[in-house]
Amino acid sequence: MPIQKIDIEAFLAMADEHPVLDVRSPGEYKHARIPGAFSLPLFTDDERKVVGTTYKQQSREDAIKIGLDYFGPKMRRMVEEVEAIVSERQNESKTVLVHCWRGGMRSAGVAWLLDLYGFKVYTLAGGYKAYRNWVLQQFSKSYPFVVLGGYTGSGKTIVLKELQRKGETIIDLEQIACHKGSAFGALDMPVQPTQEMFDNLLATELRRVMRSNPDRIWLEDESQRIGLTNLPKAFWDNMRKASVYFLDVPFEVRLDHITGEYGRAKKEELVNAVIRIQKRLGGLDTKNAINFLLEDNHKEAFRVLLRYYDKYYNKALQAREHWNELVTKITCETVDAKTNAGLIQNLKVNIQN
């Protein structure tokens, strides 16, 4: 069967069943990739620079010759790597999907080798660049978003997970971003993805959840910025127009919850987090919060911070157009996820779109 070049929609559909081989350089792959793709670089980062420079300064033919010098010694290893991937995936059809940056010489070369060895090979027309265009298009689509709101410490994330256990469709933006959204959001979290990789992961999640054609998709209310990553503007604008179900949890209950959640963190990390927001927090509150932390009085430190975040969140909530029509408050006495998810689902008749 000859090598087939397919468009991005067909490529992603086949990627659900067959391994994707990214033949770009390790640096390109590390920066961002199609989620789930395997790295099978044709060139190292340095080799790619040499080939690219030769292409620009000399000729296409000279660049290909240098590329062949690099490619030749790697052929056996690359075939064996793909054999191992196919075997691990129990892919009896030996079907693989290959892409490079633009769907040019790198993917063509590797596809030729794998086809010669006996794999069924499909390449992506337009390469990773075509995939990125697809990613950006996903954010401009209309989605049946419903937003779970509430002041800091309301337990929104655990309620979101409980709603998922109860059969609701959710997208956990903080999980994708590897950040909990506040100045303390990076504590005990993995390194955040690059912005480009965050976009890729979010688009992949949107595609996944939309397969079931859900009536609604629950999201946690977020600022446009989550740590070092930003929600794509079109996506965030869509969120801002969605109905908000606001968990109205008493201040002291939230204070106890957030003190328990972050109070075990290292003192230095907590102080540094406060310093990061000192311009918005103000000099006096910054000083008081840090002093409380240094005295191991976490509750009073978080009392200062929670007042700041409440003010900040309330301002953002009311910045929505027609916010008073979009927001429904749900009175909660606790941060217990099962209890509050149950209160939300009791309103199901009101949130059918």
Residues tagged active-site: 100
| CA-closest candidate to residue 235, choices 346, 333, 116, 137 | 137
- CA 32 centroid distance within chain: 11
Neighbouring residues of 33: CB distance < 8 A, sequence distance ≥ 6: 22, 39, 128, 197, 200
Alpha-carbon distance of 218 to 208, in angstroms, equals: 14
Torsion of CA 234, 235, 238, 239, to 10 degrees: -140
Angle between helices 298-318 and 267-276 (to 10 degrees): 30
Other beta carbons less than 10 A from residue 296's beta carbon:
9
Alpha-carbon distance of 251 to 249, in angstroms, equals: 6
Helix (H/G/I), strand (E/B), else coil: 7 = coil
Q: Please say whether the beta carbons of 206 and 143 come within 8 A.
A: yes
Alpha-carbon distance of 214 to 329, in angstroms, equals: 24
| CA-closest candidate to residue 236, choices 171, 305, 280, 162 | 171
Backbone angles phi, psi at 200, to 5 degrees: -60, -45
Instruction: Give the tokens for residue 269.
Output: 């990390």
DSSP conformational letter for 262 = H
Instruction: Give the tokens for residue 76.
Output: 């056996």
Helix (H/G/I), strand (E/B), else coil: 111 = helix
| CA-closest candidate to residue 176, choices 206, 148, 153 | 206
Q: Please say whether the beta carbons of 193 and 177 come within 8 A.
A: yes
